[in-house]
Each structure stands twice: as structure tokens, then as C-alpha cells.
A and B are shown apart, each in its own frame.
Chain A
Amino acid sequence: MNIALTIMIDGLTYASWLFIVALGLTLVFGVLKILNVAHGSFYALGAYAAASLVGWFASMQLAPELSLIAMLLAAVGVAVIVAPLCERGLLRIFYGRDEVLLVLVTYALFLILEDVTKIIWGVNPFYLSEPYALFGNVDIGKQSYVGYDFLLVIVAIVVGFIVWWGLNRTRIGKIVLAVIHSEEIAASMGVNVSRIYTLAFGTGIFLAALGGALTAPMISVQPGISVGVVILSFAVVIIGGLGSIPGAAIGALIVGIARSAAVHLMPVAELFSIYLVMAVVLMFRPEGLFQRSQARKI
């Protein structure tokens, strides 16, 4: 019983940050029809930016609680500075090409960003453990859990709700949905599609960077963190169905719980349990759990 509870809680906290990152990936795919391989690099940029900003806040003798604000600012910074550069300066050139070719374009972007991060922050790891201790520990049964992990769960729920509300209950969100549905018709109705692209890409990147900033206190921020994250978020959105928000939530939960079950019950299977789940889902529901199948074009 205890172990089941531990698996559930570990899985839930793991799923929460993964959901935030994967939500960004699925949003970008939904609107721009680009499977962004460089998504993990934006996660890494968010983590690095958070490490720098939190360090700077600490050196200014600010209250430790403010480090949460620093993390949020880091994500906003990445979204405002880097995302338009990539979308306006690079991706825009390749719109309308074959979707697999676009995957390769973002693969090139991934290679470039990987080295750019190394140039800016060097190769030595950063540790920022102060925010992780902010919320103390929570005892459930005999086990003790870090309070920060539960904060992540709450943040994930709030972020998911805001994105859902923004898409379904606001004017701009409805315009985005119209573009997702058919950009040609949206454009003919007077929607500035390229601005929606920039907005959606920026939001997606913000979510990736936010995931990176929030997890920065839990990991050592070093080169290579982007590579694993992007494959994890792929698994999440493939399981849930590309472009679906509830899908991303369920996918993240499945991946999180599959991983924590493997870690606790069969550590050998930690890495491939996730991909195994993804392969099995693809075999039975190729479009993902939350995706309506599309008509084939003749």
C-alpha cells in the first residue's frame, strides 16, 4: 500500500512539470503544425536563465521567497527574447514545407541552441537548491515529501486551467482555435495568421521555459538536460494525441506514473518503460488517446 502511494505521489510530481512542458509542445504543434525538436532547448534555456536570475536575486540580498518571481521572470524573458527571434527569423522561412522537413529544421535549431547555451553559460553545472527548501517537508504516512513538489502540482493545474480558459473563453483564444481548424479560412475572415503564429509559438516556448525554470532547483543545470526532456515530452503528446490539452495532461500522468512505477519496482526499466508505453499506445491508438482520427485524402 505504502509503495503504491509513493509511486502515485512521485508520478504526480513528475507529471506536473512534464505537463507544463508538453503543453507548450502540443500548442506549437496544434497551431503551427511543427513538431518542435528544439522544445527541450527552450526548457534548458529557462532552467539556465532561472539559475542566473535566482543567483542574482540572492546576491542582491532579496528575500528568498522572491526567487519564485525570478523563476517566472526567467521564463518570460526566454519567451519574449528568444521565441520571436526563432519564429520570425528562422521558422517563418520554412512554413508550408513538408512536416518531416520542418522536424529537421527544428533539429538544426536544437543543435544551434545547444551550443549557444554552452557559449553563454559554460559547461559547468549550476545548482540552485534554495527555492527547493522554501516550502519545507510534508509528511504523508511514514514518508516525507518535499513541499516544493506539491507546489509544482498546483502550478501545473493552474497553468493547464489558464491555457484552457485562454483558448476557449477569450476572443484571442477563439481566433487561435479558428487558425488551428483552418488557417486559410481564418485568414480570409481577416485574422492576422502570422501574428497568431508568433503568439502561439511564444506561449509554447514560455511553457517550456517555465517548466525548465521550475525544475531548475530540483536538478543540476548542465549541458544535455534538453535532450532527454524533448523525448519525454514527445512521448507525452504522442500518448495523449498531438494538439490536445487533456491529452497532454493524461499523457503526462501516464508517463509520470509509468516512470515512477519502474523506478520503485524495476529500476532497470526506468528509461524504456516510458517509450514502451508510447509504442504500445501508438500501436492501438495511432492518433493518440485524445485525438479524433482524420479522414484520408484521396
Chain B
Amino acid sequence: MTMTTSSSSSAAASQNAYFYPALLLGLGSIIALLLIGLVIPKWLLFLVTIAAANGLVSLGIVILMRSGVVSFGQGMVFALGGYAAALAYGKLGITDALVLSLGGGLVAVILSAPFAYLIARYRGIFFAMLSLSLSMVLYGILIKSESMGGSDGFNMGRPTLFGIRAADEWSSYLNYAVTITLSGLCTLATYIYFNSTRGLVSLAARDNEIRVEYLGSSVQELIATNYLLAAFMGGMGGALAVIALGHIEPNFSYWTTSGEFVFVSILAGHYSVIAVFIASTVLEIVRSFSSLYFPNTWQLVLGLFLLAVIRFLPRGIGSLWEKRVKKQQQGERA
């Protein structure tokens, strides 16, 4: 505990020391990824697009994890954003990929806002279960809504960008570029948020909530805000996933979908924002390869993989390179 705060507060004190390198690194990686997208094969392009879109949802869970709670119902905001984008495309004729994804995020925030304060009163298993039940309520509504295709869902066409409709061979690159840019910017913003005062207070709330309350911060308000941030990212991830897949169905809100998002967050750990996208890509790769080579037992492979991660990397991939964690581990050993 002492190690975490001392190193974190020094990070906050010298804001410029982390801000500009992070900004450069973040924008640099976005540009690098956009260029790499031009040369990689199409299946990989699609895989990374989906991984980045799903990664955004898990990034939201990581924000919540840093304040000490885990949502088992992020499928709800994922579905809200996805349905918002698909409906806006089909019924309102909005085709711009950027507008659709940002709109998806906003709709998810607006519709989950009434629950934010309420859910922020709960911790541990109760937070997880309440978020799960909210997502299952949405699932129950979606599966019975005839106008939105019921359990089959419905399709949406290809998006445009700034009024331009990409040619066939470029359409998957367009999705890739939008997804990479948006999730890159969100990652950068999250990193800055983590090192801001509020972000560090979240981490303190994870360590000891009552101490934070006595110091004058409202933990409930903190978690509510983080819940809404997570909703925005989840909604945007849902919209981006729908744009890439061209199809939406109620399963977006099912508890097994939420379980996968939590899986990625745990695999990543809450120490590093980049790790979330690495974890999400790893999951997609394991999923596609095991469904290719073990078509009937890919869930089995996924489960064993998950167990191996929890067993051997309990703090997540991010703990492999984050200095803060290493210091903390040394502190615990000493």
C-alpha cells in the first residue's frame, strides 16, 4: 500500500514527466498501427479490429477494477451501443462510422446513467451480480422485441467515413482505422485519467474505501463516474464491433459475453492500459485458432487457457512490465 501511493503521488507531482512521453507514445503507436494495417492479411485485420473493439469494453472494466469493483454485466452497455449504432444506421440513415461509434458510447452512457448512482453503492459480488442482472434484463427485452429482430437480431450495411464510401477492398481497412484510432485515443485518455488526482483516488479507494471517505472524497460518486466512463467505452466498443461484424443480436448482452470481457480484464490486470488490448488480441487469437483446429472443443481450450492465466499470472499481463507492480511485489516479499 505505502509503495503504491508513494510512487503514484510522485507521478502526479511531476505531471509533465509522464504526460508528454505518453502522448507521443500513444499517438505514435496509433500511426504505426494504421500503417501496419496496410500490409497485414485481411483475416488478421478483422481479428485486430474485433479485438480492439472488445478491448475497449474491457478497458472500461479495468477502470472499474481500479476503484475496487468488477462488473459482470458490461454486455449491457456493449449491446446498448451496438443496438444504438445499428438502429441509427437502419432507421435514421446515419452512416458515418465516427458518428455511429461516438453515438453508441453516448447512448450507453445516457441509458445506464439512471443506474450509476444506485449500483455504486454495492461492492464485490453484489456489484457483479447487480450489473449482471441489469444486463440480463436488457437481454430479456431484446430477445422479445420483434421490431429489432428478436433472438436473430438484424444486419447493418457498411459505414462511410466523412461522407466517403470505401471501395470493397478498403471497407475492412476503414473499420480497422476507425477502431484503432478511437480505441487508441481512449487508451491514451484512460492513461492520463489513471494518473490524474481522481484516478489515483480511485486506486486508493480500492485499497481502503473508508480511509478515502474520511479524507473527504465520496467513493460512491467516484465509482458512479467510473461506471459511466466504462459505459461510454463499452457502448463505443459495441458500436465498433457491430460496424465490423455487420450484424447484431441479443447475445451481445448475454452473461457469457460479459464473462469474456471480465476474462480479458483479469488477463490484462489493472496495472497497464496497453495490456488490455494485448490481452484482448490474445483471446481472439486463441479463440480463432482453437475454433479452427479444435472446432468442437474450443471452449475447453479457452477454459484451460483461462485457468492457466489465473494460476500463473495472477496480476495479469500488465504486471510483466509495470515497475510499480514489481516494487509492490518486492515490498510484499520483504
**Residue positions of A touching B, CB distance < 8 A:** 35, 37, 90, 93-94, 97, 99-101, 103-105, 107-112, 114-116, 118-119, 227, 231, 234-235, 238, 242, 268-273, 275-276, 278-279, 282-283, 286-287, 296, 298
Contact = CB atoms under 8 A, between A and B. Distances in A.
Given A94-B310, A115-B297, A231 B125 contact: no
B102 interface: no
B78 to A, nearest CB: 17
B331 interface: no
Contact of B126 (A90, A112, A273, A282): A282
Interface string B297-321: 1111011101100110010000000
Interface stretch (B17-25, B41-49, B138-146, B169-177): B138-146
A275 B307 contact: no
10 contacts: A109-B307, A112-B300, A112-B304, A238-B133, A271-B136, A271-B144, A272-B136, A275-B140, A282-B130, A286-B130
Interface in B113-155: 118, 121-122, 124-126, 128-130, 132-134, 136-141, 143-144
A112 B121 CA distance: 34
A296 B219 CA distance: 14
A108 B307 CA distance: 6
Contact of A108 (B138, B297, B306): B306
B263 interface: yes
A215 B299 CA distance: 26
Nearest to A38: B303
A101 B130 contact: no
Q: Which 7 A-B pairs have the closest CB atoms?
A: A272-B140, A271-B140, A111-B303, A112-B303, A115-B300, A108-B306, A108-B303
Contacts of B129: 234, 238, 278, 282
Interface of B: 70, 72, 118, 121-122, 124-126, 128-130, 132-134, 136-141, 143-144, 208, 210, 255-256, 259, 262-263, 266, 296-300, 302-304, 306-307, 310-311, 314
Contacts of A283: 118, 130
Contacts of B256: 227
Given A101-B266, A273-B140, 18 more contacts: A35-B125, A100-B70, A100-B124, A104-B310, A107-B263, A109-B307, A111-B303, A114-B300, A115-B296, A115-B300, A118-B297, A271-B143, A272-B140, A272-B141, A278-B129, A279-B134, A282-B130, A286-B130
B125 A99 contact: yes
Contact of B300 (A100, A116, A271): A116
> Which of B126, B132, B263, B303 neighbours the largest number of chain A CB atoms within 10 Å of its CB?
B303
Nearest to B265: A104
A227 B299 CA distance: 14
A231 B262 CA distance: 17
Contacts of A287: 126
A126 B132 CA distance: 31
Contacts of A119: 296-297
Contact of A275 (B126, B133, B262, B296): B133
Given A115-B296, A279-B134, A268 B263 contact: no
Contacts of B300: 111-112, 114-116
A227 B256 CA distance: 8
A279 B133 contact: yes
A283 B118 CA distance: 7
Contacts of A114: 299-300
Nearest to A273: B140
A136 B128 CA distance: 44
A182 to B, nearest CB: 19
Nearest to A29: B125
A105 B307 contact: yes
A20 B297 CA distance: 30
Nearest to A118: B296
Contacts of A279: 130, 133-134, 137
A296 B118 CA distance: 19
A38 B134 CA distance: 21
A37 B126 CA distance: 15
Contacts of A37: 259
A275 B303 contact: no
B276 to A, nearest CB: 16
B281 to A, nearest CB: 19
Nearest to A297: B210
Residue from B121, B124, B139, B306 whose CB has the most chain A CB atoms within 10 Å:
B306
Contact of B310 (A105, A242, A268, A273): A105
Contacts of A268: 144
Contacts of B255: 227, 231
Nearest to B266: A104
B266 A278 contact: no
